Amino acid sequence: MQKIIAVLALLFLVPVSGCVFPGFNPFDSKTPPQTGVLIEDFSPDFQTVRSGEQVTFLMKVKNTGSVTAKDGFAELLGLDQAWNGGSGASASKTNEIFPNENACRYDIKGISLLPADADAGTTGGETTCTWKYVAPQVLPGLTVKAKPSVRFYYTYRSSTVKTITIATREELKSYEEQGKTLPSESSSKTNSPVSIDIETSTPIRTYANSVEFPVVITMKNIGGGTVCAESSPNCKKSGSLQDAPDWNKFFIVISLPAGLKFAADSCAPVEEIIFIGNNPQTISCKLTADIGNQIGISQKNIEITSTYGYFIDKSTEVNVLPPA
């Protein structure tokens, strides 16, 4: 009877890290290239092991975006309660097994990955983190399949700059009559896990000392992971479900040049954005251009930036057999 109870307990044991919450299960991030950090590999050194055998898990990450990834660290989820740390492994106060490399630990956050530099001919920075565990005891005749996940956290930045053209009615009419082309407008943005786009109808035609016009800002989570507010560095939870609202929330900073300002009852220089699922979030702002005695055509840049925490996941499998 005791053997039956032990087998049932082992079969129904779902090992989870102290950092996993109900409703927030590890998953495989589908991170497209050029959207920040990508987990290139996460796997054990052997896919099948025996009870008591040491297993090393290796994670490899690479920065495929255009901004430096800072404050990076990693944690392995799904083994802490059933597996013990391997030779030389150290654990946190909650018995979470730390990575072997100090820079990968959450209490150090020592990983920094540079972006690719086409001029220098270098690719994005990459690094590895490893964990040592000892496979748990399995009763004769059984095979236990473990499905651990790795989670990589980092801080990233998104930035978008858009040029808008402001012209008087008289100047626009003159351009039209002469068949001339207006000065070209530019738009640039970083390759980041959060995409920010700015849309407005230009040129902005003026007919008084000031003119009001709308600007639409769209944010998309395209990195395959989860974004977090900067006030919750790198998104790691303390173990309390009360921390969960910090996930999928971040802030954007809207910077306006001289001559542009926010219209009354419109956006603020700093706006809070909350993602619901994978749906893009859009806000509409009204701006006022103070023209004064402007003659002709002018161009101004609107810049939107955001610095946030982000994390991505990847899963693997390992089969545990009884001792030989």
User: Coil, helix or strand for 110?
Assistant: coil
Greatest mean pLDDT among 153-162, 171-180, 203-212 lies in: 153-162
Put the strands of the sheet holding 48-50 in their side by side order.
48-50, 318-321, 144-146
pLDDT of residue 233: 61
Predicted local confidence at residue 170, as pLDDT:
81
The pLDDT tens digits of the residues spanning 285-303 come to 999 988 766 667 889 999 9
- Does the pLDDT value for residue 100 go beyond 60? yes
pLDDT in tens, 132-144: 999 999 999 999 9
Residue 227 CA from chain centroid, whole number: 5
Indicate if the pLDDT at residue 186 is higher than 90.
Answer: no
Strands (DSSP E) found in the chain = 37-44, 48-50, 54-63, 69-77, 84-85, 111-113, 126-134, 144-146, 149-168, 187-189, 194-199, 204-206, 210-221, 226-228, 249-255, 260-262, 270-274, 281-290, 297-315, 318-321
In CATH terms, the fold of domain 2-156+311-321 is Immunoglobulin-like (2.60.40)
CA distance 5 to 13: 12
In the chain, what are the domain boundaries? 2-156+311-321, 157-310
Across all residues in the chain, what is the average pLDDT? 86
pLDDT band with cut points at 50, 70 and 90 for residue 243: low
Task: Name the pLDDT band for 277 (thresholds 50, 70, 90).
Answer: confident
For the cut 90, the answer to whether the pLDDT of residue 25 exceeds it is no
pLDDT at position 149? 95
